[in-house]
Chains A and B, each alone.
Chain A
Amino acid sequence: MINWFTKRNREELPDYWRTYEALFKEKPPQTLKETRFVVLDTETTGFDFKEDRVLCIGAVSLINNTIDLSESFELYIKQDRFNPQTVAIHGIIKNEKVNMLDEDEALKRFLKYIENSVLVAHHAGFDIGMLNQILKRMALPKLKNKVLDTMILYRATRITSNLIDQEKNYSLDEIAENYNIELQDRHTAAGDAYITAMAFIRIVAKLNKNGKLTPKDLFRIK
């Protein structure tokens, strides 16, 4: 793969990026209690990394099983691309009344918000991939945060038994059903981020029965 920012001198990276980057020099917290997780979801015009665009980013901040709503994140992004097919899912039309930002500004605020936290999402590969595409268009490197996928973590909570399909893909709906999480505001970025956060808390509690689980253990789960 071509490393896209080699053309650009490191020194030329904007200040906000360098501030963000610098945070990763700090030693990350060693316990789950101290770790800040940013649980996020994006609504997009479709599933094509190249063609499609992010319309909305929703995220909540989770520390020690507590979501502080004064620290939640919800941004709508102005995009030229418009896909009537996905409007049915997320309900975001082209000229929403809510305040919309352009992509660069949205990402700048997002970086400031996430800092060096651990990012959590359901099918995280997709959301993180879409966000990295924005960074690429801005001629910036990829996100540097550690990422956890609730789909993979949830699978690890299921017992190993020949009676269960070990490769099954679990949807957010299925997981929510299993933990009795209400599906309010499903398919809005913020609503899905909240549901994912609630699922994440339960999954971690399940995996942490002996109370000794560390963030490192979570990163190791495949």
Chain B
Amino acid sequence: MKNTIAERVADFLKRYPPFNLLNKEQLLEISRQVRIIYLEKDNVVYKQEDTGHDQFYVVHKGAVELKREEKEKVKTVDHCDEGDIFGLRPLFANENYAITAITEEESIVYGIPIDIFKPIATQNLNIGNYLLESFASNTKNPFSKEYTNKLYSDDEILLKNDPEIFDLQPVKYVKKVISAKPSSPIKDVAQLMFDKKVSSVVIKENGSPLGIVTDKDFRNLVATGIVPIENEVSRIMSSPVLCYPKHTTIAQAQISMMKHNVSHLCITKDGTANSKVVGIVSDHDIVLMQGNNPSVLMKAIQKASSTKKLKNIHKKIRVLLKGYIAQNIPLTHITKIIFELNDATIKRVIDRAISKIGEPPVKFAWISLGSQGRKEQLLHTDQDNAIIFEDVPEYKLEEVRAYFLLLATKVNKRLNIIGYEYCNAEMMARNPKWTLSISEWKDQFTRWTTTAGDDEILLCSIFFDYDISYGDSSLTTSLADHIFDITRDNQRFLSMLGVSALRNPSPMGFFRQLLVEKDGEYKDFFDLKKRALMPITDAGRLLILQHRVKNINNTAERFEKLAQLEPENKDLYLSCSYVAKSLLKFRTKHGLMHHDSGRYIELAALTKEEKMKLKRCFKIITQIQELIKFRFNLSHFL
């Protein structure tokens, strides 16, 4: 019987070892028996000490973390992604699982029945050897990287989630070593380095390293005129070279560079200068490997050549964020750094999409709305975005819009893959309602502010907090001016906005207890977004709009500005600014703790100190709501 899906599975498997060693019939025979398993985030595939399943696993999509519990400490052994195998060895050895496998994100894994695989694997000598090798290579540390049969080492930044493990990981070295003979003229070597875009060249004789020349040597010895440019390169090389064997750890490499005050190490076959060169390590490479530093991540984003790479970088941003929160770094710094990284990601995605579909027909601006627009997006939340494009003649309008909708569809999709959820309300640029020309946008706002009903007020509050992510800022400025013009003296509209800012009253009950959700999915949880973040955000927006201040979208910064503008309310505004920051931090902390958006808080899990802190925040919210009620004369609306 024809089996279309099994054929697809075979197409996938044949790209990865050991399946690439099977012939077509064997591969199809296995594929016909595969079980395709869908797992949500944080689902356990198997647990340490469980007896072996009747199948082993291959990751088709997503990522699986392998952990081992040792003396009450949980260590991450490895991360598996697309094409990686896990849980095979215990089945061959008839042992229980020595590690736990748990999904790090929504994943699809293939379960391959061992009964089908074993006979084929034992018949095929190549596979047998492959498995033997990968099982045997980890005699020293049975839970090392090889455990998952990774053959493809990716030259990516390591995830530094455990500093202990990080330092002890083998250093990754550049395998394509550029080399020259000691007798080559200095000029030729410089040309070679220029052509190959490298900063160092190994000087080799009979395959073993004699010395090394770096950019610095040219500067110090040639450019200064000490050594003439026609001389042999051996005159300027540093010699001897520091040589190390393949499995040198990062810590070792780093220390020896510091000790000898050099920037490069040579990796040779036996670790001495008498054997063949296999690679080279620079201090710069080591910094890149650490990867827990924003400038490295920023560079990686700007260089990322695929959406998958961006996704991996974003996982690292999360690790970075976790570290910041743990170290209690001020939130203003954190938000700025994370905002820049998010912003760079969006820019990169748009750049890549444009290079794929061609230059835009007219100027445009990609705007981010909501929390990213307010620079308050720390954890990935929904994507809310829209496009403003330049006015074009009527007959061209739809053609131009079609281009931007295509662009938006691509960008929205890629952002989703990276980890920004689609907006449930389709508040995204791919929706034709939110990809409009500048005139259409102005009309839209005019309509919203003159015929304001509940829906329009909601839309206004979403769209007022926009920030340009990409493109031409004259478009966004022009729209902002328009908004100020139409809202000036529009008392009715400001009142409506005021009412909506007060729609979620103080979250404290009569007995000063915190109000929790009464029903639904999050019964007995506290809705931090609706009851605390939204009221303070709404208040900041309304007050800043009244003062006609543009280009400040961040709630905390808005209140700081308000404190300057209204010295008589300075204390209250500064408190509000503080509250905005501390609530955001609260949300981020809880989001990281529970791997979610941090919106819903389980009250029972809070410490007394945290509860007190929240209550203090709510007191300030009540005060600012009183101010709004009074200023916009809203008592008769409520």
Interface residues in B16-43 (C-beta closer than 8 Å to A): 31-40
CB closest chain-A residue, reference B424: A159
B455 in the interface (beta carbon within 8 A)? yes
Instruction: Choose one: B35, B39, B459, B521; the contact of A67 (CB below 8 Å).
Output: B35
Complex Cα spacing A208 to B39, Å: 14
The interface residues of chain A lying within 8 Å CB-to-CB of B413 are 177, 180
Question: Of A21-29, A44-52, A143-151, A183-191, which stretch is located at the interface?
Answer: A183-191
Rounded to whole Å, the gap between the CB of B158 and the closest CB of chain A is 27
B425→A164 contact, CB < 8 A:
yes
Interchain residue pairs A-B with the least CB separation, the first 9? A190-B4, A67-B36, A65-B38, A201-B38, A159-B424, A70-B33, A66-B37, A68-B35, A69-B34
Given A66-B111, A164-B426, residue A190 in contact with residue B5 (CB < 8 A): yes
Q: Are A180 and B416 in contact (CB under 8 A)?
A: yes
CA distance A68 to B3 in the complex (A): 12
In the complex, what's the smallest C-beta–C-beta distance from B514 to chain A, in angstroms? 22
Evaluate contact between B6 and A69: CB separation under 8 angstroms.
Answer: yes
What CA separation (Å) do A184 and B5 show in the bound complex? Answer: 9
Mask: chain A, 173-210; 1 = CB below 8 Å from B; 0 = not: 00001101000110010110010001001100100011
User: Quick check: is A132 within 8 A (CB to CB) of the other chain?
Assistant: no
Is B36 within 8 A of A178, CB to CB? no
Q: What are the interface flags for B97-119 relative to A under an 8 Å C-beta threshold, 1 for contact and 0 otherwise? A: 00000000000100100000000
Number of interface residues of B (CB under 8 A): 31
Given A67-B5, A99-B2, A163-B455, 11 more contacts at CB 8 Å?
A66-B35, A68-B35, A69-B5, A69-B31, A74-B4, A99-B1, A163-B425, A164-B425, A180-B416, A184-B8, A190-B5
Contact A66 B36 (CB under 8 A): yes
- B425 contacts A72, C-beta separation under 8 Å: no
- Asked if B417 lies at the interface with its beta carbon under 8 angstroms from chain A, I say yes
Decide if B166 is an interface residue (CB 8 Å cutoff).
Answer: no
A162 contacts B by Cβ under 8 Å: yes
Task: Assess whether A72 is in contact with B426, with CB atoms less than 8 Å apart.
Answer: no
A159 in contact with B425 (CB, 8 Å): yes
**Which residue from chain B places its CB closest to the CB of A200 in the assembled complex?**
B38
A2: Cβ under 8 A from any B Cβ: no
Distance (whole angstroms) from the CB of A79 to the closest CB of chain B: 17
Once the chains are docked, how many angstroms separate the CA of A188 from the CA of B33?
20
Which residues of chain B have C-beta atoms less than 8 A from A178's C-beta? 422
**Any B CB within 8 A of the CB of A158:** yes
Chain A: residues with Cβ within 8 Å of the partner, total of 35
In the complex, whether A88 has a CB less than 8 A from a CB of chain B is no
Whether A74 touches B2, Cβ cut-off 8 Å, given contacts A66-B38, A69-B9, A162-B455, is: yes
Q: Out of B3, B425, B426, which one reaches A190, CB within 8 Å?
A: B3
CB contacts (< 8 Å) of B9 on chain A: these are: 69
The reply to whether A65 and B39 contact each other, CB–CB distance below 8 Å, is yes
Q: In the bound complex, do residue B424 and residue A194 qualify as a contact, i.e. CB atoms below 8 Å apart?
A: no
Chain A positions within 8 Å of B416 at CB level: 180
In the assembled complex, how far is the CB of residue A203 from the closest CB belonging to chain B, in whole angstroms? 12
Say whether A3 faces chain B, with CB atoms less than 8 Å apart: no
Is the Cβ of A72 less than 8 Å from the Cβ of B5?
A: yes
Residues of A within 8 A of B37 (CB): 65-67
Q: Across the two chains, which residue of chain A brings its CB closest to B110?
A: A69
Interface residues of A (CB under 8 A from B): 58, 60, 65-70, 72, 74-76, 98-99, 158-159, 161-164, 177-178, 180, 184-185, 188, 190-191, 194, 198, 201-202, 205, 209-210
Cβ of A108 to closest chain B Cβ, rounded Å: 15
A17–B67 alpha-carbon span in the complex (Å):
51
Interface membership of chain B positions 143-165, coded 1 if the CB is closer than 8 angstroms to chain A and 0 otherwise = 00000000000000000000000
In the complex formed, the residue of B with least CB distance to A198 is: B38
Instruction: Enumerate chain A residues within 8 angstroms of B4, measured Cβ to Cβ.
Output: 58, 74, 185, 188, 190-191, 194
Nearest B residue (CB) for A202: B38
- A70-B417 Cα distance, complex, nearest whole Å: 30
Contact A163 B426 (CB under 8 A): yes
- Interface residues of B: mostly helix, strand, loop or mixed? mixed
CA distance A192 to B427 in the complex (A): 29
Across the interface, do A194 and B5 meet the contact criterion of CB distance under 8 Å?
yes
Complex CA–CA separation, A69 to B112 (angstroms): 10
Which residue from chain B places its CB closest to the CB of A68 in the assembled complex?
Answer: B35
A70, A161, A185: which has the most chain B beta carbons within 10 Å? A70
Contacts of A194 in B (CB 8 A): 4-5, 8
- Chain A residue numbers with a CB within 8 Å of B39 are 65
CB proximity of B406 to chain A, nearest CB, Å: 13
Which residues in chain B, 401-441, are within 8 Å of chain A measured between CB atoms?
413, 416-417, 422, 424-427
The answer on a CB contact under 8 Å between A209 and B455 is no
The answer for the CA separation of A75 and B4 in the assembled complex, in Å, is: 11
In the bound complex, residues from chain A placing their C-beta under 8 Å from that of B32 are 69-70
- Between A and B, 26 residue pairs with Cβ closer than 8 Å are A58-B4, A60-B5, A65-B37, A65-B38, A66-B36, A66-B38, A67-B35, A69-B9, A70-B32, A74-B2, A74-B3, A158-B424, A159-B424, A161-B425, A163-B425, A180-B413, A180-B417, A184-B8, A190-B2, A190-B4, A191-B4, A191-B5, A201-B38, A205-B38, A205-B40, A210-B521
Complexed CA–CA distance, A96 and B111 (Å)? 32
Chain B residues whose C-beta falls within 8 Å of the C-beta of A202 in the assembled complex: 38
Q: Separation in Å of the B628 CB from the closest CB of chain A?
A: 25
Q: Within the assembled complex, what's the spacing in Å between the Cα atoms of A194 and B12?
A: 15
Cα A190 to Cα B8 in complex, Å, equals: 11
Nearest residue, chain A, Cβ from B433: A163
Question: Which residues 259-310 of B sit at the A interface, judged by CB distance below 8 A?
Answer: none
CA distance A194 to B7 in the complex (A): 13
Residues of A within 8 Å of B31, CB to CB, are 69
A169 to B425, CA, bound (A): 16
A contact residues around B8 at 8 Å (CB): 184-185, 191, 194
Residues in A neighbouring B36, C-beta threshold 8 A: 66-69
A-chain residues with CB within 8 Å of residue B521 when the two chains form the complex = 209-210
> What is the bound-complex CA distance between A205 and B416, given in angstroms?
18
Contact check, B417 vs A72: say whether CB atoms are below 8 A apart. Answer: no
Closest to B111 in A: A66
A68: B residues at CB distance < 8 A: 35-36
Separation in Å of the B340 CB from the closest CB of chain A? 27
**Most chain-A CB neighbours within 10 Å: which of B5, B40, B521?**
B5
In whole angstroms, how far apart are the Cα atoms of A158 and B8 in the complex?
Answer: 31
- How far, in angstroms, from A62 to B32 measured CA to CA in the complex? 15
Docked complex Cα distance between A164 and B458 (Å): 14
Q: Which residues of chain B come closer than 8 Å to A162, judged between CB atoms?
A: 455
Residue from A60, A66, A74 in contact with B1 in the complex, judged by beta carbons closer than 8 Å: A74
Cβ of A52 to closest chain B Cβ, rounded Å = 22
Q: How far is the CA of A130 from the CA of B269 in the complex (A)?
A: 69
- State how many angstroms separate the Cβ of A64 from the closest Cβ of chain B: 9
With A and B bound together, what is the CA distance between A209 and B39 in angstroms? 14
Which residues of the other chain, A, contact B35 by a CB distance below 8 angstroms? 66-69
How many Å lie between the Cα of A1 and that of B9 in the bound state? Answer: 46
